[in-house]
Structures are given as structure tokens and as C-alpha cells.
Structure 1
């Protein structure tokens, strides 16, 4: 139920209840209905509503009119709304000042109602302070709680935006690293193609075949030049060759020295691009295990099946926070670019990363 609907329900309930008790005279009925309707604006104009009901209450008490009593209930609700819905803290305190001033005037008017002289004044002041304090403190508590909830929502939204931005950055960094690694593999393949085409052109004696091979050679050289020009910038400060599964034993040794026990199955021969991607996925998964699961035991299974390589990296740690990082996004992007897929998440007994990579482009 929205705030406007709750306000209408409150105003209607108060009107029915107060009319049933105090609405025997038409003047009282009019004042009660008008006061309840004014409460519909207490969220947008809390001080105005408080001042209006307070002024009516002073007039009713001063002239001893029959509709003064129901205004005490409406005035308390209006006083609650001043600190609860005021735009600023100063406005909330202004509402308390208005309420105290109004209540003080009423106390002076009615000081003889509970006794004579000073005793009646003391009793009236105690009632006024209790009346104002309860309404204002409850309204202030509501304001503080709403401010706290708003701050939590803003913080959650900001963290979600930051997390999304960091995830996109992780994917972009992974793509850049893939491009750097691709440079070596692509350059090697195209260089071999150009050399073979040049050798075949020199060896053949047929003019048409020689022209075709010469065009293949020229196209290959152009492709190499364009690839080198586009990707060389990505290799700035990165002269190392991309790692493959052949480097996995060295990675396992480093992780074992850091406290992670790793068991690796047989490592098959894979095409260069798949080989590099498989190593990067295993590397990131094991690094996450070391970071989040501590001194756990991990198992790496690499298996060829029907034209795809299946990777399974599992551990027996808790791994409850592995999903909070951005390494999974990078692994998933690397698998996706090869036409594969990757799943990561908790499994009975620990955490698992499972990926399938096709051996040939799809």
C-alpha cells in the first residue's frame, strides 16, 4: 500500500471514529471532517497543517467550544508529522517550537481545569510536555529510520553500479590479454602460410599456379602487416609468449608453495588458441581457490570429448565469496569468444568451475 493510500485510510478512520464520539453537533462534525482532510497534506506541508490545527485548537479551547477535544487527537498526529516529514532538520525543530508555543497558550488558558493557581499550572505543563514529547520523538524516530533506509538503498545502488563497471572492466582487460596472446599465434600461422606459398610459387612451373600462389603470398603478407599494426600496441611492455597448458606444472608448483594442494589429470595436446584459453581458465580458477578457500585441495581435470575440451576445476574449500570477484567474468568471456561456455558456483563439498571449449571455431 502506498503512502497516499495509507494517509487516506488514516484520515477516513479518524473521521469515522471522532464523528461517532464527538459528532453530535454539526459544528463539531464540520471541524472534525476539515481537520481529518487537512491531514492528507501533512507529508507535503507538515508545518502548515500543524499550524492550522493548532490555531483551531487554541480558538476552541479559548472559547470553550465543543469541538476542541477531537482536535487534540488531530493535533497530536499533525505534531508527529512535523519532524517526520519536514524537508529540513530546522523545519522539524520549528514544528516543535510551534507545538510548544501552542500548547503553552492552551495551558495558560486551562490552568484552572486541574486545580487552582500554581498546582494547576504545573499539572498542565507536565501534560503538555508529555503530549509534545511523545509525538515529536516518535516523528523524529520515523525520520531517522527513513533516512537510514534511504542511505542503505543509495549505497546498495552505488555498489551495484560499481560492481557492474568493474565487471565490464574485467571483461575488457581479458579481451585485451586475449588479443595480445592471439598476436603470437596468428603471426606464426600466417608466417608459415606465406613461406609455404612463396616456396610453392618458386617450385612450380605453371604460370597460372604461380600467379595464384603469388596472390596468396601477397594477401598473407598484407594480413600479417595489418595484424601487426593493430596488435603491436597491445603488446607494449609484454614481451613474454602467452602461456599454455605446458606451463601448468610450473603454476601448480607455485600454488603448492603458497599452500594449495593441486591434483592435475593428463594434459592433452590442444590447438594454440584453445591451449592458451584453457591455461588461463585453470590459472584464474586455481588462483581464486587459493584466495578464497585457503589451504584447500583442488583437482584439475582436462578431457577431450567429441570435438570439445572439457575443463573441471574443483576444490573442497568453502569458496562462499568466489562469486564476488571479477575473475569469473573474465573466464566466461574467454570461453565465450571461442564459442564455448563456462559455469562457476558452489557444489556439494566445495566450489567448481566447469568449461567446454570447442577445438575448432564454430
Structure 2
């Protein structure tokens, strides 16, 4: 039976980053993806590499600081995939967040970025407000401009996988894990590939299956407890409307959430929603309620582009991704967004990841590799993970 140091289950951005980091550290790595690389959540995000300005409201300062540091790193390591882009925050007479609150938040955001060049923000003079094409000017009190970054999430994940492979990682698509037997000091993993059952021994296993993390845990023997989670769907609509030159950060007119109006391939992308799903038995799809929600907010601020029916006729594409959030009381909007690492003493060679952000995938990978070193020992480094360029 073939043996590897690390077996990773899941070919989204977290699984890809872990495979890349572990391969750079000299570990033999096999990654199994049941469909295609970046075929689910990691291709259906808001496509932002950002600190998460709104996370300041829920006190997630360590996550924001970490995310801003990763934004800086990815702009350097993946310049063809991650690009700085201006964000605009319009503040109206009836906005829940006042101009002083926005300014205070942006000041803290700049401080948490260690006053990086992208941490700069400004108040946009009223004479320039009309340059945001179509934006409602009635009742507008202030517009603030700051910086974050945008990426093609699928291409970024694929680039990470490409780099991991160049470092020796083996990546198999359409490989469905069916059983993980945790033994003393290693695991035996069975998976279906090309119509046959394959078996491999792994000194350590990382379950990075995203929304299917608990389904993978259901295959573990001896049985292992899983964390209570909720599946939260985030949907986006692509409108056949010429894009502005930056991203508009809008307060929902229906609730306290915010959405983004973004340029995407010359058109206008709007998102996202936070719809709690009862199951993952069917492929997620954008609901009629989500369409009404997103278009309703967009029309509230951009009424010049027509009524709701007219806007629906301009929807040329839609997509949705599902993320995992801890099962807590309160709205999904306020839930913690950091990654949870689950390791149980009864199964010391198995680690499961819950949640996480596209922006912080490298931090997650480093943390997992620290666990890997403590679990199975150190290997001879092949490359410096912190200096690996992506293209």
C-alpha cells in the first residue's frame, strides 16, 4: 500500500493552500477532490481579497488585521491575479452608519493595515459624486473612498494547485473519499476513482471539504464527533449594465447587511446574500427571494436603470456558493468568519477545517503545517512558502 505524509480532502482554496504549503515544507502530499478543483465555493465567492471592513462592527479585529496582512502579501505574490481596486461608501440622510462612524471605521482599518499604502482613504468631494454612474444623489451626505483588492477566485485556486504540483504534490480530481480508518499513528483512506476503490496510508489527514466537512467525518472509523454547523448560501447576480471603475459598498435598504456592486468582466456584479440552507442534498441555486433582495437594493440606489422587471431582464448570469458557519443564535451576518480547526485526542492524526476566508487561505495553510510538523515531524524544506509566486 502506498504511503504519503499528508492526505488532503477537498480542492477548494484552503485544501489547495495546505497542499502547496506542505509540499514546500518537504512533505509528500496527495489531494483528493470529489469533483473539479475550485468547482464549488472557491469559484463562487465575491472575488475579493480584503480585510473585511464590516467585521469591525462585530469586533473581529484580529481577523481583520490578519486579512489585511494577507492582502498585502497576495498583491506581491500574485500580481497578475490580485489587483487593487477602489471602494466607495455612499452615506445618506437615512443611512444606519453615520459619516463619523464610517470615518472612524476606515481610520481603524488603516491602522490595522499598519498604515500600508492601501490603507489610505479619503472623503470624495461632492463635485465628483456624479462620476459614480447612476448612483442616487438625493439625500447623499458623504462619499468615502478606500482600497481593497479583487481576484478571480477560481484562477487563484488553480494557480495555487499548479504551484503545489510543481513542488511534488499529487492532485486527483473526481476522487470521492469513502472511508477513513484512524489507526495508531496513521490513517488508512479508501476512495473511489475511475470506477474502482483505491486505498492509501497517510500519516496525517486534513479534512478541508468545506460545506461537506461533516459528511467526510461521517466516513471516519472509529466514529468521531462533528461540530454543529449551518450552511449559508451567498448568491450573486451579473447584470448587463456597464460597470463603474470601482466597487460600491452599499447598506441594505431592507436590513443591516451590506452588499457590493462590483465591476466584473465589463458588467455589474452584485452580491452577496446570506441564506441559511436546511440541507445540501441538491446543488445550490439562487432563489427567487435572493434575486428580489439583491435587485431591490440595487434599484434603491440605482433607480435610473429601470424598475424591478427591467432589472430582471438584465440579469445575464448568477451563481452562489455555500460556506460553513458555526451554529449560533443571531443572524449569519454577525457570525465569526475565522477558520475553526477541530482536532480530537482520540483521532490525533486527523484535522478538520470549518469555515475560513479566501483572503486568509495562506494563514490557514501555515497553521495546518505547524500542526503537521508537531504530529508527524519535520521534513527537509523544498521552498519558502512565504516567497512562492503565483501566475
Class of the TM-score when normalised by the shorter of the 2 chains: under 0.3
Q: Which has the higher contact order (CA 8 A, sep 6+)?
A: 2
Decide which structure has greater strand share.
2
Larger radius of gyration: 1
> Under a length normalisation based on structure 1, what TM-score does the superposition of the two structures give?
0.20
Decide which structure has greater helix share.
1
> Under a length normalisation based on structure 2, what TM-score does the superposition of the two structures give?
0.19
